């Protein structure tokens, strides 16, 4: 009975995950605006994301990660999308804020760096092949670490490229990806031998949505005042970030289809193209001379993206549907439950 209740609760959370994500964002922003000390929650963002990714990795069979490393077509299209198509679009969009050095730097920092953490969770919730994204994480981290300085030099005439340091990227790779991944692998290995670890592994899927809500609330609450302090100067950025997200979802879907990928891999491309590495580049923004405006530009992108991802969970599967036979079979199984 307890097991059936747990399944019903998990299904209810998944059915209402979009409205729950948007509610968590709104509640976090209101709490952050009302409570002066809410910015201290920033210290909890990375631990919360690490725990969320651990729960996500528990649900990924590690044979899929090995298969992802061998899928050279997917990896090639992923690099094409994030380091050829994205920079071209970012250059065009960034011209709308080229008059403001702080905003321009923030826009370039955040839009040129593809996400490597919660994109895995959102892609899992959207039915994408998140195992392949997980396998590609080290490649994306290394590529952005190498390419971000020359892109910044090219787009800003060399004014901020020399300020990029590898520390935040390497810390994110170790603490947000490698350690949760190792813990999940150990849990999966021990699950076949010990009931306690088997129960822990089984809880991975059920905890993904609640942990996502915790992350969204924490990010929104901790960054709300930084956004409010900049006020109207950020108004230009909201439509700019929304356009970026929409265009890259479509570009990812088109690239996946044109490249002959299956629906899960094509969905993974769409999620990767649309999501950015805001939580990793935020420390870089805070270290720059005009930290206030630059960091606020990065945080604004986080809010727009998180709200957009809540919608992408629903619309990317519609844009890239499963084959008819498989979709019908999964629908029948849900109805029988």
Residues 242-276 pLDDT 10s: 999 999 999 999 999 999 999 999 999 999 999 99
What pLDDT does residue 335 have? 44
Nearest to residue 135, comparing CAs of 123, 148, 126?
Answer: 123
Top-ranked range on mean pLDDT: pick from 52-61, 114-123, 237-246: 237-246
C-alpha to C-alpha distance for 234 and 228, rounded to whole angstroms: 9
Q: Tokens 């923004």 belong to which residue?
A: 285
Cβ proximity of 109 and 294 under 8 Å: yes
Q: Which residue has the higher pLDDT, 88 or 6?
A: 88
pLDDT band at residue 337 using 50, 70 and 90 as cut-offs: very low
Q: What is the pTM of this model?
A: 0.80
C-alpha to C-alpha distance for 45 and 276, rounded to whole angstroms: 16
What pLDDT does residue 162 have? 61
pLDDT band at residue 3 using 50, 70 and 90 as cut-offs: low
Q: What average pLDDT does the chain have?
A: 84
């Amino acid at each position: 009975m307890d097991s059936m209740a747990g399944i019903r609760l998990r299904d209810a959370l998944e059915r209402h995950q979009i409205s729950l994500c948007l509610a968590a964002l709104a509640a976090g922003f209101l709490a952050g605006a009302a409570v002066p000390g809410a910015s201290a929650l920033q210290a909890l963002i990375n631990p919360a994301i690490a725990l969320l990714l651990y729960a996500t990795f528990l649900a990924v069979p590690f044979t899929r990660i090995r298969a992802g490393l061998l899928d050279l077509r997917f990896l090639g299209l992923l690099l094409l999308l994030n380091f050829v198509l994205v920079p071209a679009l970012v250059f065009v969009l960034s011209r709308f804020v080229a008059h403001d050095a702080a905003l321009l730097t923030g826009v370039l920092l955040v839009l040129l760096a593809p996400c490597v953490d919660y994109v895995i969770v959102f892609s899992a919730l959207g039915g994408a092949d998140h195992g392949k994204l997980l396998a590609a994480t080290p490649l994306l981290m290394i590529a952005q670490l190498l390419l971000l300085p020359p892109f910044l030099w090219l787009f800003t005439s060399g004014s901020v490229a020399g300020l990029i340091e590898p520390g935040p990227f390497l810390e994110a790779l170790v603490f947000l990806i490698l350690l949760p991944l190792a813990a999940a692998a150990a849990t999966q290995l021990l699950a076949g031998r010990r009931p306690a670890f088997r129960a822990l592994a089984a809880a991975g899927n059920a905890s993904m949505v609640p942990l996502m809500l915790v992350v969204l609330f924490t990010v929104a609450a901790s960054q709300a005042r930084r956004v409010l302090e900049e006020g109207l100067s950020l108004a230009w950025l909201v439509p700019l970030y929304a356009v970026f997200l929409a265009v890259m979802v479509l570009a990812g879907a088109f690239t996946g289809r044109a490249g002959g990928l299956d629906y899960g891999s094509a969905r993974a491309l769409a999620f990767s193209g649309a999501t950015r590495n805001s939580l990793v580049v935020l420390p870089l923004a805070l270290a720059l001379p005009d930290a206030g405006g630059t960091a606020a530009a990065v945080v604004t992108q986080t809010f727009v993206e998180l709200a957009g991802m809540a919608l992408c969970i629903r619309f990317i599967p519609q844009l890239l549907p499963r084959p008819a036979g498989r979709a019908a079979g999964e629908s029948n199984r849900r109805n029988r439950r």
